[in-house]
Structure 1
């Protein structure tokens, strides 16, 4: 008698895929039901889940509800033993943390939006409603991209544009703050998103995305010619808006500044390069003065640099900036000394230092002792200080 054939080997279980399916079922079912209880207006939609996922404003609001009204969702936020989980980075019963699930939802929402915006291989294009608050900047983005990037890079309404956009950006989507930015990211050329890589996540505001579009392909290509491949990659990963400043500097001046302050500044060097007015003020400064203020160059304005070099001695520079930042606090320091800054106050502070008689035996230590009083006087009465009282 012939042997019976061996039973077919069972297909190995894809644990990751099963986790994803379980999470999606939970979100579409009980989590969606809870959201409908909390926001009854969602029930007016024919497909509440699909509408929320494809509408960034709604999706962002729902994610904020989960974060701020955690007690309403606590039954879903438990570990494998059923114990409540109170932090966002601890694995839940499904095997993933809340942070990881939020990342999944952000990517799913981006895919849903792009399919609705452009259509995909399996869906038709639909008109995407635009929030009036968004409309002005979105229109500006379209105009900037259309005028400053080549035809091959400008998003076109083809059936697969949504898929190309999603593939380009999905690996860089992890955070709920990115959801309101989805419509703005969608206006960027896919080629540029691929070029930026994780640098996309450095664009944390609609204005930042619009500023990138305003740079244009020419500046990006000029920056690539000026920098080494490794520095170009670091810039794109850290602060892509610096491309405009690098192009503004040109090769010789870029190499001078890079040699003078990059070692002390690290990645803050790219933040410094965002502001061309600041770079212009640095054009005529020597390397030693710039090195003394390297710790603050990404924070201060061009006018601050000019006044400091005009009034302060070489070794006084880091003492002045360090005490100012400590005494005034980050916000006031930025308002006065950061771009665009307060030109009158910058000059007043620098002049006061220049006029202060210091102990010749140890002038720097004496300056450290006297400077706090100057900034404290401003904090006590900004109006009187500006009047020179």
Structure 2
């Protein structure tokens, strides 16, 4: 995804995938920024009708200043990844499906996501703390310098406003342990006397749903051909619509197979009704992408059956059992880098034990 950074800081983590050094930092950042303001922006504006009200020249700044909008855009990228395929190519124009592989811009998707999170953090720290985050003498700069190397993942964007009140000493003491704090409440426990932070620039946004938060996309007939004419079969809530899009993506449907309209409606409803333990233990705990989460849940639904799935994964559910399943998956190496076919196999084994 060529999108959204102005903070040029590259990752310091080594990658065994890359075979050559990327182009210069400034050139890569310029390439990515231009892609966002052109083709990437056009894709987002086409997917989210509410974005039409945001002027083209203001789109970049509006998204980068808003925690909610930026988080939603990153989730749209994950759930509608095929829409961005023209941007996800290497120097030879070949499709890139591995987030660790360098794109034409000279950075991988993993690198770009980290750059996006850092850029948003800079903007929020400037607004919430005052001072220049590029100036180590300012409070904003001291905090950014302490936390910069640990701003890596898209799930951290909603946490940026909660990072701002953290004492610099606390961040330095935690170091990589900051990545173990996966939700706002966990971060807030480090600053118990601080008020709950809000996004730096409140803007009207499309409805955000969970899991995971995503502005409601525009209708995509190519993804919903079996539903548009089915009357009662059409997704009836944003959550169901989100999971319908994920389950009908070609990469997912090739793994889970085809289902009758009734079976599809039941599966979508089941996934839309999962409990908070599923979100925290599986989605966040294993850092799963949208498509990976769809594979994981659809596999568990197939193995367990509707009633047992609802008993464990629905409301109120069985948090202890969900934690056990997540632990088994983690021990088997399941995570954000697992391919979909392998994840389905690992999930089946973890659920059956």
- Shorter-chain TM-score: which interval? 0.3 to 0.5
Which has the greater radius of gyration?
1
Q: Which has the higher helix share?
A: 1
Compare relative contact order (CA 8 Å, sep 6+) and give the higher one, 1 or 2: 2
TM-score by length of 2: 0.45
